[in-house]
């Protein structure tokens, strides 16, 4: 069967099963929405669908009644129109569940460009209108990369103008690139990423790595001839040993950043977390006099193996990222707060050099990048906020002193565009063609 037919069959089966299985959850959400302010349970709005045909999209209501008459269609993180239950629904994306009905009746697909209201579609260029050839969906690649859109728009003056001018074209571009090469397997991967957030995947990788280390510790103790009794003991203790390690790794911020960014500071945090877990395990072993916990030799071997396993996993992912990356990526004086435009090798080298150098003291506080795939990551524990246009948000004028553009020279047109965009802002703007070669734009 062709991809469109496979996709429709997949949509109908999943939407029907989802509505059936999740009906108790939907009833509970509906009750909470009703109790929140006695207003209607559902929110519906006319959106532009495939081939420009309008349809009504359904959601659980997350804002106060008549919110559309009280402000812009686009919302920010601290929008006062959002109800208390609405914030939980938006954060978990559960407000989108009624759209399974839209999928079942054929107005939408599970994966496809998010449908926009007509006044935004009317501003599409002829090239952008090509996205209307595809059926809109509940989730898409742009939804994943713009998953913190409300936070991204925080501090924006003219909210709708910023969204239409900068966010919407990026979303359309991402969806066109994806739709032109879409397959059912890629759609399933998008759905899985939507259902299971990034931090959950990191937690799973850590759990597998730590459980593997615990198993190897028993293998070493038994000279790779583990008895049935030792195997049963290992199964009994694995959660007791791994869970404290995970708790301390989370405490040290090991779920926030990108797993493939690994450096000496990350290694120190890993050692600290595993050491704290070992102390807790040793204390438990002493308190219980060796009962219900493995022997001290197992604890010590597991600590060493866990450290090397986590370092090997993260270093391997880092090498994989760097090998596949595209080219172009103590003082008493208060350091200059720097924002870097670009996340390539040059930007990374600048960040590391700034950390080591005190003359002049600089501290990178944020990255901005045109590639949405880098957003919400934390290379070397510095956040990638969003597109460079986010620097126009007034709150950043109080948080940074300098902007350094680290884009490759072949992107001269984009560099010139950034120059024009940042003119008039009270910030020092420089371009880096190579460290330490910084020159004013």
Residues 47-79 have pLDDT tens digits of 999 999 999 999 999 988 877 777 666 776 667
User: Is residue 217 within 8 Å of 302, Cβ to Cβ?
Assistant: yes
pLDDT band at 435 (very low <50, low <70, confident <90, very high): very low
Say yes or no: 103 and 207 in one domain.
no
pLDDT tens, residue by residue, 228-268? 888 888 888 899 899 999 999 988 877 765 666 777 878 88
- Distance (Å, whole) CA 273 – CA 208: 17
* pLDDT (mean) for 100-109: 95
User: Is residue 48 within 8 Å of 116, Cβ to Cβ?
Assistant: yes
Say yes or no: 349 and 284 in one domain.
no
Give the range among 90-104, 224-238, 325-339, 419-433 with minimum mean pLDDT. Answer: 325-339
Per the domain annotation, does 191 fall within a domain? Answer: no
Is omega for the bond preceding 360 within 30 degrees of 0, making it cis? Answer: yes
User: Given 146, 164, 186, which residue is the final one in a domain?
Assistant: 186
Q: How far is CA 129 from CA 126, 132, 136, in A?
A: 5, 6, 13
Assign residue 343 the CATH number of its domain.
3.40.50.720
Strand ranges (E), 362-416: 362-368, 384-386, 402-405
* pLDDT (mean) for 282-303: 80
3-state SS, 188-233, equals HHHHHHHHCCHHHHHHHHHHHHHHHHHHHHHHHHCCCCCCHHHHHH
User: Given 275, 293, 323, which residue is the final one in a domain?
Assistant: 323
pTM above 0.75, yes or no: no
pLDDT tens, residue by residue, 155-206? 666 777 888 888 888 899 888 888 888 899 999 999 988 888 777 888 889 9
- Distance (Å, whole) CA 35 – CA 61: 12
pLDDT tens, residue by residue, 16-55? 999 999 999 999 999 999 988 888 999 999 999 999 999 9
Residue 321 reports pLDDT greater than 50: yes
User: Given 300, 323, 346, which residue is the final one in a domain?
Assistant: 323
- pLDDT confidence of residue 114: 92
Length of the chain: 441
pLDDT band at 404 (very low <50, low <70, confident <90, very high): very high
Q: What is the largest CA-CA distance in the chain?
A: 75
Say yes or no: 178 and 214 in one domain.
no
The boundaries of the domain holding residue 168 are 3-186
Name which of 201, 52, 158 is nearest 113 in CA terms: 52
Say yes or no: 10 and 106 in one domain.
yes
- Distance (Å, whole) CA 44 – CA 48: 13
Per the domain annotation, does 328 fall within a domain? Answer: no
């Amino acid at each position: 069967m062709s991809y469109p037919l496979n996709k429709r069959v997949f949509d109908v089966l999943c939407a029907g099963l989802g509505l059936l299985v999740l009906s108790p959850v939907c009833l509970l959400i509906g009750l909470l929405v009703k109790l929140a302010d006695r207003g209607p349970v559902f929110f519906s709005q006319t959106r532009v669908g495939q081939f420009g045909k309008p349809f009504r999209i359904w959601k659980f209501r997350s804002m106060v009644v008549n919110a559309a008459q009280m402000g812009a269609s686009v919302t920010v993180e601290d929008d006062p129109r959002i109800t208390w239950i609405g914030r939980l629904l938006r954060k978990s994306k559960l407000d989108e569940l009624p759209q399974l009905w839209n999928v079942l009746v054929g107005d939408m697909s599970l994966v496809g460009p998010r449908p926009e209201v007509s006044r935004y579609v009317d501003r599409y260029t002829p090239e952008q209108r090509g996205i209307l050839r595809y059926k809109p969906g509940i989730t898409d690649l742009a939804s994943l990369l713009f998953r913190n859109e409300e936070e991204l728009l925080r501090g924006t003056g003219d909210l709708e103008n910023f969204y239409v001018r900068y966010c919407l074209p990026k979303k359309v571009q991402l969806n066109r690139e994806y739709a032109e090469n879409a397959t059912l397997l890629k759609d399933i991967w998008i759905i899985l990423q939507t259902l299971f957030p990034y931090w959950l995947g990191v937690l799973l990788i850590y759990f597998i790595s730590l459980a593997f280390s615990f198993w190897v510790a028993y293998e070493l103790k038994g000279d790779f001839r583990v008895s049935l009794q030792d195997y049963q003991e290992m199964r009994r203790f694995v959660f007791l040993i791994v869970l404290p390690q995970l708790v301390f790794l989370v405490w040290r911020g090991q779920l926030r950043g990108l797993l493939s960014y690994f450096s000496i500071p990350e290694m120190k945090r890993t050692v600290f977390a595993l050491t704290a877990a070992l102390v807790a395990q040793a204390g438990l072993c002493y308190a219980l006099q060796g009962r219900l916990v493995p022997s001290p030799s197992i604890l010590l071997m597991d600590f060493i193996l866990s450290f090397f396993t986590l370092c090997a996993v993260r270093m391997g992912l880092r090498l994989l990222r760097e090998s596949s990356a595209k080219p172009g990526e103590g003082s008493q004086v208060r350091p200059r707060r720097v924002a870097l435009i670009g996340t390539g090798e040059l930007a990374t080298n600048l960040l590391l050099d700034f950390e080591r150098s005190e003359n002049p003291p600089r501290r990178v506080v944020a990255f901005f990048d045109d590639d949405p795939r880098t957003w919400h990551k934390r290379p070397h524990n510095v956040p990638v906020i969003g597109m460079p246009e986010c620097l126009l948000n007034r709150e950043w004028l109080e948080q940074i002193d300098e902007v350094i553009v680290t884009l490759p020279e072949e992107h001269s047109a984009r560099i010139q565009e950034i120059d024009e965009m940042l003119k008039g802002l009270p910030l020092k703007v420089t371009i880096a063609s190579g460290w330490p070669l910084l020159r004013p734009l």
